[in-house]
Amino acid sequence: MQFAPLQDAEDFLAQNPDIELFELFIIDANGVPRGKLLHRDELLAVYRSGRPLPSTILGLSINGDDVEDSGLVWDVGDIDCRAYPLAGSLVRLPWRLIPTAAVQVSMHPQDGMPASIADPRHVLVQVIERLQAEGFHPVMACELEFYLLDAKRDARGHPQPALDADGGRPRSTQVYGLRELEQIEPFLADLYAACKAQGIPARTAISEYAPGQVEITLEHGDALQAMDQAVRYKRLVKGVAHRHGMQACFMAKPFDHLAGTGMHMHVSLNDAAGRNLFASEAPAGTPLLRYAVGGMLASLLDSLLLFCPNANSYRRFQANSYAPLAPTWGVDNRTVSLRVPGGPAFTRHIEHRICGADANPYLAAAAILAGIHRGIREELDPGEPIEGNGYAQAKTLLPTDWLTSLCALQASTWAPEALGAEFLRVYLAVKREEQRRFMGEVGEQDWRWYLNQA
């Protein structure tokens, strides 16, 4: 684990004399940024000696509640754990009214105990280090879909698409529509400018499969750096949207009648010289690529809770919806879970299409790479790639409910070694508590279905 040097902070302060506040944040297991707002004169101390954060900060539910079974609450007296800044994470937040910057921190492997075992970034670092020790250097990129919603609800109190620049509200699906992108140009202009200012390589923008749904791709690169950029990008999108009177929504399935939102993960392996080990003139890639696919397929059920972490995640899985339902793979085929895109040999990689946009990029990437490592070590053959409609040819289906996925990860014999038994103990405690509380709530759907019938 490499932390940022003091010089980074000194240079930033000298170059940004107007900055008054600093948002110090850490990413928890749910992908939620949590932290503190510091004054300018507190920043250097963070770089010199870290910042104490309570152990509970990495054992919270998605709603910010303590999870006692995590072992990070009463068992350890909610002890302070020291977190340190990550290199390259100190950036301005251009949407804030008060001149503000942000710095991402991560738990120190020793001084951050016991919370460091629950730091999702540590999980990814450890998986990457194991691959690198065998000469494999993972390269990844993240494609995140999201909805732009109006900050105001409709007459029924339900979320609704944000207003276009011309004052209308998008009502129809115009996938790849250029007018739709023109209508959100003020937002896109600020978003691209903010990405440039923060060093986030945002590229192609696409109008997606529902009114108000957008996807912007991020450029591929070193796997850890790519996931750092992904978590900061989500924070940035939400901040810029808020400044424009909108809400950026990364829920997996915010509307029952509209498309879900995914997070497609692109992955390949380089050697130490930067050569793509999946590169091949053959569309299906090298034997190493096939082993990687085989490992991801073999580990898919055990990993599903990391790809689809919430109750709402499973509403996205519907046939013929471009959300994959089965442990399948294919070449240039968008009806399968693992797609090998076409293109020149040097670009050969795997597109993992299972994650919802609500997944934590660190944990999703860790599970993907750990699955790849398993496939290479065990030389797992994925079978022949599917041609044509992958939905129609699926022989087995993924679980489409939260509890089954939770139980699969809990029963896994592979995941504790691949991702860390102590991390999984905390993560599963959080997810069990969330599942219990979610199922304990009675709401509108229950009343609509059962109030007059039961």
pLDDT tens digits, residue range 20-65? 999 999 999 999 999 999 999 999 999 999 999 999 999 999 999 9
pLDDT band at 352 (very low <50, low <70, confident <90, very high): very high
pLDDT at residue number 185 = 86
3 state DSSP class of 91:
strand
Model's pTM, two decimal places?
A: 0.95
Work out the mean pLDDT of the chain and round it to a whole number. 92
Residue 264's CB is within 10 A of a number of other CB atoms, namely 20
SS3 85: strand
From CA 424, how far away is CA 71, in angstroms rounded? 12
Tokens, residue 67: 């999870």
- Nearest one of 327, 343, 351, 324 to 335, comparing CA atoms: 324
Q: Report whether pLDDT(174) > 90.
A: no
Residue 198 half-sphere exposure toward CB, CA atoms < 13 A? 32
Instruction: Read off the amino acid at residue 177.
Output: G
HSE of 8, CA atoms in CB hemisphere, 13 A: 17
As separate numbers, helices (DSSP H) first and strands (DSSP E) second, the chain gives 14, 15
26 close to 57: Cβ distance less than 8 angstroms: yes
Contact 276, 346 (CB under 8 A): yes
- Specify the length of the chain in residues: 454
pLDDT in tens, 400-449: 899 999 999 999 999 999 999 999 999 999 999 999 999 999 988 999 99
Under the banding of pLDDT at 50, 70 and 90, the label for residue 146 is very high
Contact 143, 264 (CB under 8 A): yes
| pLDDT score of 171 | 67
pLDDT tens, 255-292? 988 888 999 999 999 999 999 999 998 888 899 999 99
| Banded pLDDT at 13 (limits 50, 70, 90) | very high
CATH class of 6-118: alpha beta
DSSP for 178-221, please give it: HHHHHHTHHHHHHHHHHHHHHT--EEEEEE-SSTTEEEEEE--E
Residue 309: its pLDDT value, please? 97
Q: Rounded to whole angstroms, how far apart are CA atoms 410 and 429? A: 10
In CATH, what number does 127-422 get? Answer: 3.30.590.10
Residue type, 161: P
Cβ count near 403 (within 10 Å): 15
Written in H, E and C, the secondary structure of 324-360 is CCCCCEEECCCCCCEEECCCCHHHCCEEECCCECCCC
User: Which three-class secondary structure state does DSSP give residue 312?
Assistant: helix
pLDDT class for 172, splitting at 50, 70, 90?
low
Task: Tell me where in the chain the CATH 3.10.20.70 domain(s) lie.
Answer: 6-118
Which residue is listed with tokens 């304990």? Answer: 440
What is residue 173's predicted lDDT score, i.e. its pLDDT? 66
Query: Nearest to residue 398, comparing CAs of 308, 322, 266, 290?
Result: 308
Q: Which two three-digit tokens encode residue 369?
A: 């790479």
Cβ-based burial of 156 (10 A; exposed 0-12, middle 13-18, buried ≥19): exposed
pLDDT band at 381 (very low <50, low <70, confident <90, very high): very high
Q: Identify the pLDDT of residue 321.
A: 61
Other beta carbons less than 10 A from residue 65's beta carbon = 13
Residues 222, 227, 229, CA angle at the centre, nearest 5°? 95
Residue ranges, comma separated, of all CATH 3.30.590.10 domains in the chain are 127-422
Could you tell me which of 258, 404, 264, 410 has the C-alpha nearest to residue 324?
264
Distance CA 407, CA 435 (A): 11
Lowest average pLDDT, out of 74-83, 162-171, 265-274, goes to 162-171
Instruction: Record the tokens describing residue 158, joined without a space.
Output: 């339900």
Is residue 241 within a helix (H) or strand (E), and if so which, with residue range? helix 223-243
Contact 199, 241 (CB under 8 A): no
For residue 282, the model assigns a pLDDT of 86
Residue 158's CB: how many other CB atoms inside 10 A? 9
- Cα three-residue angle 63-66-69, rounded to 5 degrees: 125
State yes or no: pLDDT of 329 exceeds 80: yes
* pLDDT over 70 (residue 454): no
Confidence of residue 178 (pLDDT cuts 50, 70, 90): confident
Instruction: Give yes or no for residue 320 having a pLDDT over 70.
Output: no
DSSP-derived letter for residue 275 is -
